[in-house]
């Protein structure tokens, strides 16, 4: 690991429980994310990966347990405090969640204008163009999301996530549904931007190539708990029959 051991913890999850009716999704999950670290969470489809990061950003409310982000306990915040904290957390949605009634520019301006009401037009324009240049798509600024390819939409979504320069980024399956070459490009872009802005991130995925390229450490989510954690190579070399199928 690249010297993250002694860094401060920016996100801590302790003993997290979440169920929907009789469907117990998380059963005492634990996680600690250090500053500057890229942590991958690997799990089967339907294992509760999205539920986990939606609890972190306050889209879902956990049944039990504690989530501390940048020193603040998520569950104790009121709506205003939560909105302020959310500026520092970026979320890349699995389905991109680009607003299809808005142009690319309006999509990127949305978080700017909604969070900080005082941003003026010149400043907004600069930030939008910078964010688009970061993902290499400055020429799409006046297009509608429907006119773009899947890989381009993912880049635009990434630009929108980064426009507020968050300290922590939560990636929900950033490469799912993309072809292998585009997946590789997106993974490299994630690495590049992570270095440029020195963010910490949680990468939810079941794409081994993406995890190998982007993460420093990984956690295996099985039956609602952190079954095993370690580096990619450690887990890959494991002789545990529960872990092995994930690397086949």
Partner 1 sequence: MKLPPNTHRFIEEAGAITAFTSRFFREAFRPRYEWNAFLNQCYIIGYKSLPLVGLTGFIMGLVLTMQLRPSLIDYGVESELPAMVGIAIIREIGPVITALIFAGKIGSSIGAELGSMKVTEQIDAMEVSGTNPFKYLVVTRVLATTLMLPILVLLGDAISLYGAYLGVNIKSTTSFHLYFTQVFDNLSFGDVVPAFVKSYFFGFAVGIIGCFKGFNSSKGTEGVGKSANSAVVVGSLLVFILDLIAVQVTDLLGLN
Nearer to ligand ADP, 93 or 232 (CB): 93
Instruction: Single out the segment in contact with partner 1 by CB under 8 A; choices: 88-96, 195-203, 219-227, 230-238.
Output: 88-96
Assess 81 for contact with partner 1 (CB under 8 A).
no
Note whether 105 and 138 are within 8 A (CB): no
Residues 6+ apart with CB under 8 A from 170: 53, 56, 57, 89, 90, 91, 92, 201, 202, 204
Assess 50 for contact with Mg ion (CB under 5 A).
yes
Task: Give the whole-angstrom CA distance, residue 97 versus residue 140.
Answer: 17
Q: Please pick, from the candidates 115, 143, 184, 236, the single residue that binds partner 1 as defined by CB under 8 A.
A: 115
Q: How many CB atoms lie within 10 A of CB 242?
A: 12
Nearer to ligand ADP, 47 or 107 (CB): 47
Which residue has its beta carbon closest to Mg ion?
50
Q: Please pick, from the candidates 1, 71, 81, 99, the single residue that binds partner 1 as defined by CB under 8 A.
A: 99
* Chosen from Mg ion, ligand ADP, partner 1, none, partner binding at 48 (C-beta under 5 to 8 Å by type): ligand ADP
Assess 110 for contact with partner 1 (CB under 8 A).
yes
Task: Give the whole-angstrom CA distance, residue 30 versus residue 135.
Answer: 33
Report the alpha-carbon angle 199-200-205, nearest 5: 120
User: Please, is 27 exposed, middle or buried when counting C-beta atoms within 10 Å of its C-beta (0-12, 13-18, 19+)?
Assistant: middle
Crossing angle of helices 150-162 and 104-115, rounded to 10°: 20
Assess 155 for contact with partner 1 (CB under 8 A).
no
Considering only residues 46 through 75, tell me which ones interact with partner 1, judged by CB under 8 A: 54, 57-59
- Site residues (vs partner 1, CB under 8 A): 54, 57-59, 79, 83, 86-87, 89, 91, 93-101, 110-111, 114-115
Chain residues that interact with Mg ion, rule: CB under 5 A: 50
């Amino acid at each position: 690991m690249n010297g993250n051991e002694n860094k401060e913890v920016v996100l801590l999850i302790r003993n997290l429980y979440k169920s929907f009716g009789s469907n117990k999704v998380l059963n005492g999950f634990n996680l600690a994310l250090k500053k500057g670290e890229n942590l991958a969470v690997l799990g089967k489809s339907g294992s509760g990966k999205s539920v986990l990061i939606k609890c972190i950003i306050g889209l879902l409310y956990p049944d039990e347990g504690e989530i501390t982000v940048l020193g603040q306990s998520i569950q104790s915040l009121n709506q205003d405090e939560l909105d302020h904290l959310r500026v520092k957390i970026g979320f890349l949605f699995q389905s991109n969640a680009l607003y299809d009634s808005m142009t690319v520019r309006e999509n990127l301006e949305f978080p700017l204008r909604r969070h900080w009401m005082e941003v003026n037009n010149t400043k907004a324009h600069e930030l939008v163009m910078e964010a688009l240049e970061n993902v290499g798509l400055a020429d799409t600024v006046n297009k509608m999301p429907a006119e773009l390819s899947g890989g381009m939409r993912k880049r635009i979504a990434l630009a929108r996530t980064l426009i507020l320069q968050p300290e922590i980024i939560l990636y929900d399956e950033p490469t799912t549904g993309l072809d292998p070459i585009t997946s590789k490009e997106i993974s490299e872009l994630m690495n590049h931007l992570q270095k440029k802005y020195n963010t910490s991130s949680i990468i939810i995925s079941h794409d081994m190539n993406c995890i190998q390229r982007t993460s420093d450490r990984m956690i295996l989510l099985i039956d609602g708990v952190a079954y095993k954690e370690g580096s990619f190579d450690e887990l890959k070399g494991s002789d545990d029959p529960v872990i092995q199928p994930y690397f086949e």
